Amino acid sequence: MSCSSCSTNKNGVPNGCKSNGNCATGTCGSGNKLAVFDWLSNMTLPSGEAPFNIYEVRFKNGRKHFYKNSGNKITITMGDIVAVEGSPGHDIGIVSLSGELVKVQMKKRKIAADSEDVKKIYRKATQKDIDAWQNARDRELETQRTGREIITRLGLKMKLSDVEFQGDGNKATFYYTADDRVDFRQLIRDLASTFSIRVEMKQVGMRQEAARLGGIGSCGRELCCSTWLTDFRKVNTAAARYQQLSLNPLKLAGQCGKLKCCLNFELDSYLDALEAFPKQDRILKTEKGEAIFVKMDIFKKLLWYTYKEEKFKWYKLSLDQITEIIELNEANELGAPLEDYESEIAETVAEVNFENVVGQDSLTRFDTPKKPRRNRNKRRKKPQQKRTTNTAANTATNKKREPQKNNTRKQEQQPKTAKKPPQNRRKNTNNKQNEKSNAPSNKKQNNQRRNKRRNPGNKNAKNDEKQ
């Protein structure tokens, strides 16, 4: 969600607040988790009523606390960076909510207005406070790396997930997860001596760790626990059984290693739909024998049953047919065989004209088996063999013909290469007249030469050449 006070440029940096992606108003940006929209911001209070003096302040990874502005001495609005009371020293945070909605959030978390957990707001953060806060935040990554090295050196069975520095840089909170109880007294001494800070160790659960770190779930969206989910309820495998899901821990577990919280979201709708279905341990008595339950499709209202003696075949029946058989059994009567009921179900297969944006025909186009390519290869190889035989015969005949052609060509080329002596123009004109008179004799010679080329083995052609 983006605020109306800023807009992004070509590089993706906000033009208004210039904070490189983290909006100063606290309503957009990746650092603002579990944001609450103040829909009462445009409404004025009744006359004579003072504004609520408790504000909600946000820290790293969506950690929020309530702080009191005693006497409303400081004018504070949403998005202001304030210096609040710490233990010890002071901390720096961003005001995420103000006004009457803070009362609703405090009631949700069961925190009273006069509780000791509600601490004070000292002042609005100065530039010096903000610089010290940024320097402390820059040290967190390196502190986490060295902290993990110290843990592995001490051989402690714990996982350091995150480090959060206080705004003044004098204290750091180390968040860790562990299966068993860990003695980290020596660890605290080593961390305090290496970083010269006050150390606080805080153990969190697997779900809280995933909520703090965030990530992308198997659905392709950001984790629910890091965006809007605040209460972590217990998730049992019974929720998966009611929804007819396979009890595969790899598919049912989330990034935290526990069962997914979304298994509880649709559980109520499944329980309402299952009220019309018979119990799964109910045995159907038919003329052919007793039948037991195999599986069901809740929303299509279909059930699969099989005989005790013939478990290799399943019979698909509708919910109305099952209720009919149960009513007959309650009246001490046997139902018809399951084959008769299955034949009554008319399967209507709808034609699916699927075509997505890319232009693919269907998602199951690769499931159809391909035809074997052996026949195709045989068909391709047969004409190749015929071609090879023909080419071999042609090469044999060409080898026999090549020397004869060469000899004839040499004989024909010899008279052409001889140069004639120069003659006068008058003689040339006389020669042309003589050629015209000798034209029929020249045609005979040309025809004889053509016959020699076509039939080089002819004996008559050889005799003509000798004469």
Q: Are strands 198-203 and 284-285 parallel, antiparallel or unpaired?
A: unpaired
Give pLDDT, residue 467: 42
- Taking CA atoms, 205 is separated from 75, 160, 211, 338, in Å, by 38, 12, 10, 51
Cβ atoms 263, 239 nearer than 8 A? yes
Which residues make beta-bridge pairs with 304? 295, 316
For residue 14, pLDDT over 70 is answered with: no
Report residue 18's pLDDT band, with 50, 70 and 90 as the boundaries: very low
Q: Is 198 helix (H, G, I), strand (E, B) or coil?
A: strand
Q: What is the pLDDT of residues 376-405, one digit of tens each?
A: 555 555 554 444 444 444 554 454 454 444
Say if residue 42's pLDDT is above 70.
Answer: yes
Checking if the pLDDT of 252 tops 60, the result is yes
pTM over 0.85: no
Most confident of the ranges 69-78, 199-208, 410-419, 444-453: 199-208
Residues 6+ apart with CB under 8 A from 95: 26, 55, 56, 57, 58, 76, 77, 78, 79, 80, 81, 82
Which segment of 68-77, 89-98, 248-257, 394-403 scores lowest on mean pLDDT? 394-403
Confidence of residue 440 (pLDDT cuts 50, 70, 90): low
pLDDT at residue 19 tops 50? no
Q: What is the chain's mean pLDDT, rounded?
A: 78
- The yes or no reply on domain 135-204 and CATH 3.30.300.20 is yes
For residue 164, pLDDT over 90 is answered with: yes
For residue 20, what pLDDT is reported? 45
Provide the pLDDT for residue 71: 78
The secondary structure of residue 172, as a DSSP letter, is E
Helix (H, G, I), strand (E, B), or coil: what is residue 102?
A: helix
Where exactly does CATH 3.30.300.20 map onto the chain?
135-204
CA distance linking residue 184 with residue 199, whole number of Å = 11
Q: Quote the CA–CA distance of 62 and 32 in Å, as a whole number.
A: 6
Q: Which tens digit of pLDDT belongs to each residue from 329-366? A: 999 999 888 988 888 776 555 555 555 555 555 666 67
Q: Are 80 and 124 in contact (CB under 8 A)?
A: yes
Is 290 in a helix, a strand, or coil?
A: strand
Flag whether pLDDT at 412 surpasses 50.
no
pLDDT class for 367, splitting at 50, 70, 90? confident
pLDDT band for position 29 (cuts 50, 70, 90): very low
CA angle 256, 258, 260 (to 5 degrees): 90
Question: Whose CA is closest to 8, among 56, 20, 332, 303?
Answer: 20
pLDDT band at 198 (very low <50, low <70, confident <90, very high): very high
pLDDT value, residue 68: 93
Whether residue 278 is preceded by a cis peptide bond, meaning omega within 30 degrees of 0, is no
| Between 45 and 320, the higher pLDDT residue | 320
